[in-house]
């Protein structure tokens, strides 16, 4: 999820203005949009702002967008869900054979041994408690068990508490970092946040160009949706420079230009490449020199096809960056969607977003129940 609040009320043309704070220094939540849950800032007892009702047409558009997303999530996860759902279509009895088949299907989906065992124990108890007699009922109970297991991963990404909020994005090569930054920028900008991108992958010219292309795409998207034509997505880059120096400059520029968010795109690296992991540690350290409270979020982008290896990635990057959250990409077409259960069981970190495609709109906030149902439908 993503929550954004501003120090100053700054309504965009598409949104009704939020009430003005009686105390100038207190943050005032921006008016809610489809992607934003307005929260009270943690730092001060801000006035409670009642939700502003969306016009009917906007609500319909929001609902249609959400329904479209759910459909894409379901079809994206179909390789995983088909093999699990198959277990419930064959027999008519709830017996050991059913549990064994289920165990095999969950393991095939990369749910991992610990999470699979916990899920099956939980499921047996639920079956007993509800006196379920039909496999279809067991399927619904399994969806509940998965949703409960994934619930701790559901958390809001808070933006606006710091100015700028600095978000470092890391991951192995090709996990989808730059694409995620492009899509995340759309979320943030649609919520009224101004975004600056830092191209901290300074080795590859293509990486910088790719990020610049996402910045342009976002600027056009904002203008096309008449969200805030003045909100240009900017980028800081310098070919061949020290990635830490570019990140430092970006944080300083973000502050000087009054940006709400600085997203730092780092180069892909494997946990086994010690010098590159050390470089990541250095970027973090130097960002902290630019702003002693930063980075405010360190996100790891995981390719949803990675399966059990994702756990090793989470542990390795966490050691270096003290991760605050995850984004799981490429859930379209993966047969390994169970990996989120393994993460929930063994290294629970907030999953702020999930990605199901390469387009701007193919990233959404993670909802445990929604995901659990998509995994079984
Ligand atoms: N199908 C699908 N493809 C994705 C998704 N996210 C990213 N990709 C694709 O994955 C490929 C790699 O994405 P990048 O964003 O370049 O990955 P990266 O982690 O920045 O790559 P490096 O900087 O080289 O480490 C591209 O072809 C993207 O279009 C997703 O959610 N679904």
> Token pair of 189, please?
């900008």
pLDDT at 44: 38
List CB contacts of 152: < 8 A, sequence separation 6 or more. 344, 348
Question: Residue 43 pLDDT > 50, yes or no?
Answer: no
- Per-residue pLDDT for 160 more than 50? yes
- Do 292 and 336 lie in one domain? The reply is yes
Output the pTM of the full model. 0.85
217 shares its domain with 254: yes
Q: How many domains does the chain have?
A: 3
Q: Tell which wins on pLDDT, 19 or 114.
A: 114
Tell me what the mean pLDDT of segment 100-110 comes to.
93
Domain of residue 24: give its range: 2-54
Would you say 173 is a known binding-site residue? yes
Is the pLDDT at 90 greater than 80? The verdict is no
Q: The domain spanning residue 239 has which CATH number? A: 3.40.50.300
Q: Around 335, how many Cα atoms within 13 Å sit in the side-chain half-sphere? A: 6
Q: For ligand 1, atom 17, name the residue with the nearest CA.
A: 176
Residue 103 pLDDT class (50, 70, 90 cuts) = very high
Residues 329, 304 contacting (CB under 8 angstroms):
yes
Tokens (6 digits) for 175: 């996990």
Q: Verify that 168 and 289 share a domain, yes or no.
A: yes
Per-residue pLDDT at 38 exceeds 90: no
pLDDT at 221: 85
Ligand 1 atom closest to Cα of 183?
A: 6
- Range from 58-62, 235-239, 306-310 carrying the lowest mean pLDDT: 58-62
Q: Residue with the nearest Cα to atom 31 of ligand 1?
A: 330
Judged against a pLDDT cut of 70, whether residue 266 lies above it is answered with yes
373 found inside a domain = no
Annotated ligand binding at 174? The verdict is yes
| Ligand 1 center from residue 183 Cα (angstroms) | 11
What integer pLDDT is reported at residue 150 of this predicted model? Answer: 97
Q: What is the ipTM of this complex?
A: 0.98
Same domain, yes or no: 33 and 118: no
* Residue 137 forms part of a structural domain: yes
Domain match, 197 and 346 both: yes
Residues 120 and 197 in one domain: no
- 125 and 252 in a common domain: no
Query: Same domain for 185 and 308?
Result: yes
Q: Are residues 145 and 174 in the same domain?
A: no
Q: Whose CA is nearest to atom 29 of ligand 1?
A: 358
Does 64 map to a domain? no
Q: Distance between CA atoms of 264 and 185, rounded to whole angstroms?
A: 11
Distance in Å, CA 298 to ligand 1 centroid: 18
From CA 152, how far away is CA 150, in angstroms rounded? 6
User: Is residue 178 scored above 80 in pLDDT?
Assistant: yes
Q: What pLDDT, in 10s, does the model give residues 199-213?
A: 999 988 899 999 999
194 and 137 in a common domain: no
Ligand 1 pocket, Cβ-based, cut-off 6 angstroms: 171, 173-179, 201, 207, 267-268, 329-330, 332, 355-358, 362
Question: Could you tell me if residue 84 is inside a domain?
Answer: yes
- 43 and 141 assigned to the same domain: no
Among 121, 152, 183, the domain boundary falls at: 152
The whole-angstrom separation of Cα 227 and Cα 231 is 8
Residue 233 to residue 162: CA distance in whole angstroms: 19
> For residue 36, what pLDDT is reported?
31
Task: Break the chain down into helix, strand, coil percent, rounded to 5.
Answer: 45, 15, 40
When pLDDT is averaged across residues 166-191 and rounded to a whole number, the result is: 95
Q: Is residue 164 part of a domain?
A: yes
Residue 372 domain flag:
no
Q: How far apart, in whole angstroms, are the C-alpha atoms of residue 125 and residue 142? A: 11
Q: Distance, CA 342 to ligand 1 centroid (Å)?
A: 23
Residue nearest to atom 1 of ligand 1 (CA): 357
* pLDDT the model gives residue 21: 32
Report the separation in Å between the CA atom of 358 and the middle of ligand 1, taken as the mean of its atom positions.
Answer: 7
Is 70 contained in some domain?
Answer: no
Average pLDDT, stretch 275-304?
97
**Three-state SS letters, 69-137:** HHHHHHHHCHHHHHHHHHHHHCCCCCCHHHHHHHHHHHHHCCCCHHHHHHHHHHHHHHHHHHCCCCHHH
Q: Tokens standing for 291?
A: 């702003």
Domain end marker among 110, 131, 152: 152
In a domain, 63, yes or no: no
The stretch 27-33 carries a mean pLDDT of 32
Q: How confident is the model at residue 192 (pLDDT cuts 50, 70, 90)?
A: confident
- Looking at residue 249, its pLDDT comes to 97
Instruction: Specify the ligand 1 atom closest to the Cα of 179.
Output: 15
- 141: CATH: 1.20.120.140
98 and 189 share one domain: no
Contact present, 38 and 29 (Cβ < 8 Å): yes
Question: Of the given ranges (42-51, 110-119, 136-145, 352-361), which has the lowest mean pLDDT?
Answer: 42-51
Say how many Å lie between the CA of residue 119 and the centre of ligand 1. 31
What ranges make up the beta strands (E) of 317-365?
325-329, 351-355, 363-365
User: Model confidence at 128, in pLDDT bands (50, 70, 90)?
Assistant: very high
HSE-CB at 104 with a 13 A cutoff on CA atoms is 8
Tens of pLDDT, residue by residue over 301-351, are 999 999 889 999 999 999 999 999 999 999 988 889 899 999 999 999 999
Question: Was 171 annotated as part of a binding site?
Answer: yes
Q: pLDDT over 90 for what percent of the chain?
A: 62
Residue 304 CA to residue 74 CA, distance in Å, equals: 14
Q: Whose CA is nearest to atom 6 of ligand 1?
A: 176
């Amino acid at each position: 999820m993503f929550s954004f609040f501003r120090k100053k009320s700054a309504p965009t043309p598409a949104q009704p203005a939020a009430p003005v704070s009686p105390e100038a220094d207190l943050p005032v939540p921006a008016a809610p949009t489809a992607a934003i849950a307005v929260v009270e800032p943690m730092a001060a007892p801000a006035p409670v702002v009642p939700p502003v009702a969306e016009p009917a047409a906007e609500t319909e558009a929001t609902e249609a967008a959400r329904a479209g997303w759910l459909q894409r999530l379901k079809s994206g996860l179909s390789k995983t869900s088909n093999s699990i759902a198959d277990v419930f279509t064959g027999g008519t009895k709830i017996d050991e054979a059913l549990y064994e088949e289920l165990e095999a299907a969950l393991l095939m989906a990369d749910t991992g041994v610990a999470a699979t065992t916990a899920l099956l124990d939980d499921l047996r108890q639920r079956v007993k408690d509800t006196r379920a007699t039909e496999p279809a009922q067991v399927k619904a109970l399994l969806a509940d068990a998965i949703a409960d297991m994934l619930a701790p991963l559901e958390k809001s990404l808070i933006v606006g508490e710091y100015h700028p909020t600095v978000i470092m994005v890391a991951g192995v090569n090709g996990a989808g970092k730059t694409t995620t930054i492009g899509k995340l920028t759309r979320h943030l900008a649609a919520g009224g946040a101004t975004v600056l991108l830092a191209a901290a992958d300074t080795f590859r010219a293509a990486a910088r160009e790719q990020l610049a292309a996402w910045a342009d795409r976002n600027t056009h998207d904002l203008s096309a949706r008449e969200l805030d034509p003045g909100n240009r997505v900017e980028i800081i880059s310098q070919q061949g420079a020290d990635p830490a120096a570019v990140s430092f400059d970006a944080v300083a520029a973000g502050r000087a230009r009054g940006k709400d968010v600085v997203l730092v795109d780092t180069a892909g690296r494997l946990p086994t490449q010690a010098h590159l992991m050390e470089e990541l540690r250095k970027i973090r350290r130097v960002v902290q020199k630019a702003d002693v409270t930063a980075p405010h979020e360190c996100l790891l982008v995981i390719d949803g096809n990675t399966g059990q290896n994702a756990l090793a990635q989470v542990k390795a990057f966490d050691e270096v960056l003290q991760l605050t959250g995850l984004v799981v990409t490429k859930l379209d077409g993966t047969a390994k969607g169970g990996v989120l259960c393994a993460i929930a069981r063994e290294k629970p970190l907030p999953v702020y977003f999930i990605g199901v495609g390469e387009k701007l709109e193919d990233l959404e906030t993670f909802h445990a129940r929604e995901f659990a149902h998509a995994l079984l439908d």
